[in-house]
Amino acid sequence: MKPVAGRLFLLGIAVVVSLVFFLPSTPLFPAMPEWWKQHLPNKGITLGLDLQGGIHLVLEVEAERAIEIKLDRDVTTMTELFAEKKLQVESVKRTGPTEITVALSRPEAKEAVLTLTDDQFPMLSGRSSGDRTLVLALKPDEAERIKKAAISQALETVRNRVDQFGVAEPLIQQQGLRQIVVQLPGVKDPGRAKALIKNTALLEFKMLDEDHKVARELPSRVPAGKEEEVLKEFGPQIPPEDEILFERHVDKQTGRVMKTPYLIKKRAVLTGDVLTDARVAIGQFQEAYVSVTFDSTGAKLFERITAENVKKRMAIILDNTVYSAPVIQERIGGGRAQITGSFSTEEANDLAIILRAGALPAPVKIIQDLTVGPSLGRDSIEKGVRSTVIAGTLVVLFMVVYYRLSGAIADLALMLNLLCLIGALAGLNATLTLPGIAGIILTIGMGVDSNVLILERIREELRTGKPVRPAVDAGYDKAFLTIVDSHVTTLITGFALFLFGTGPIKGFAVTLCLGIAINLFTALVGTKVVYDLLNRRGRMERLSI
């Protein structure tokens, strides 16, 4: 009796645990007492993108721009270094995707410049193209390293932004060499989510060039859409070290958008890589702004820059858009600054999320954009449930008609299999997708497959004249290896699909592997317990099979 009691206890535990984990996915869960919700599982099955709606994006990282951004920063560092060492250098410019050209005041300075760059910039190899010109080229292996690092950093940055955005069960993974797949189930505002993910978030602090005559001739404001006309009119007049950028203003009453052009020096005096925090705050006039905090290096730089530029204007720029251009009234210590602008609290919150999560190392472009509506998801769920019910009903009827009482026992194992499978999905917080429902339907067929092998073996033993109990034991013993072999080979295929598949393929693999593993338990343990109980109640003369 002990073996039977032990297996009955094991089956009871499996049923109870499955019901506890599956309960949060049912309409009954809100009516449960608070102690139940606090101490027992309260997360149900998570529906995938194709079932609850959302967005599917494929992003491509423009890795070559990461090299250009890196060289632009090297140009700034190089210029400051040459000035500090008092080398006779006229200018330092990036003249190609992977090249920096140094113009010398005197040919004699070439050796000193080469020595300094070899020491401070080992990733650059120098070659001369004239007595007073030195070309520094990025080494090919360093360029590849920057590209790979940019893609890895972009993946992590996108993941951080999505996590702070608050999407449940997102899928973010690399695809191919430079693509990133992003699936956000249940997102109600796809436009906001896409803007949050795609924005480069390159924060820069630049000084305005107010001494040039163009700065005085620029219009105070222009309507949105007229920026190209301003650039066409004043672009040829500005010096090569300057650029024209615009600040956006929105009239809260009319909603009209205006742009303010500024003449700004291209060289950034400070960038967002020295930020440690960014938070939304409310000003005295109830306007939202973003308060940023610098690290120790950034705080010292910001204090020095503000001390050197009192009464001058500094532009705070994000992705080539001016957010504010305040006048520096005095030296600013403490490592804090404010980004103000005509944006709502939600826009300020999105900006803070982007800054906290970090800037993308290179721009990304959306090459595939699919939005799945919730109505399509509901339709998929209804059809999936209908398919499962129809498939289950047909299998149950076939087994009862063909194998009679033994078929009904096999159907009992099938119901136990489905219950344990759904409980396992909920317990693992697995994401159920449409292919996952297909995996459940496939499990229904495989759930009785093992029992068919066992029942046919039992029939063979009964035909030889064996009593019922020895025939049942022999049927299970002889079918055991065949059942295990077929299940293990299918499990190997399921593991391969899970390891190398993406998105929906993984959903199918999860349900398939769980269903097969649970089927082994229900077929070899669940049904055998029923036969043992029937035999213990009284010696069975005949078996309905």
Q: What per-residue confidence (pLDDT) applies to 359?
A: 65
199-371 placed in CATH 3.30.1360.200: yes
Q: What per-residue confidence (pLDDT) applies to 24?
A: 80
- Judge if 64-142 and 199-371 fold alike in CATH terms: no
Terminal C-alpha separation, the chain? 25
Label residue 91 left, alpha or beta by phi (over 0 means left) and psi (-120 to 50 means alpha): beta
Distance CA 296, CA 292 (A): 13
How do residues 337-356 score in pLDDT, each as one tens digit? 777 766 677 777 777 776 67
Q: How many CB atoms lie within 10 A of CB 437?
A: 23
Q: What per-residue confidence (pLDDT) applies to 431?
A: 73
Q: What is the arithmetic mean of pLDDT over 451-458? A: 84
> What ranges do the domains of the chain cover?
2-18+374-537, 64-142, 199-371
Q: What per-residue confidence (pLDDT) applies to 2?
A: 44
The residue with greater pLDDT, 467 or 180, is: 180
Q: What is the arithmetic mean of pLDDT over 119-144? A: 81
CA dihedral (462, 468, 471, 476) positive or negative: positive
Q: What is the arithmetic mean of pLDDT over 26-43? A: 76
How do residues 141-197 score in pLDDT, each as one tens digit? 888 888 888 888 788 778 877 776 666 667 788 888 888 888 887 777 777 777 777
| 3-state DSSP assignment of residue 31 | helix
Q: How many CB atoms lie within 10 A of CB 92?
A: 21
CATH of domain 2-18+374-537: 1.20.1640.10
64-142 placed in CATH 3.90.1070.10: yes
Per-position b or e across 293-330, b if 16+ CB within 10 A of its CB = bbeeebbebbbebbeebeeebbbbbbbeebbbbeebee
Instruction: Indicate the helix (H) or strand (E) that contains 245.
Output: strand 242-250
Strands 321-324 and 99-104: unpaired
What DSSP designation does 29 have?
G
Whether residue 483 is predicted with pLDDT greater than 80 in this model: the reply is yes
**Residue 507, Cα to own-chain centre: how many angstroms?**
17
Q: What is the arithmetic mean of pLDDT over 439-461? A: 81
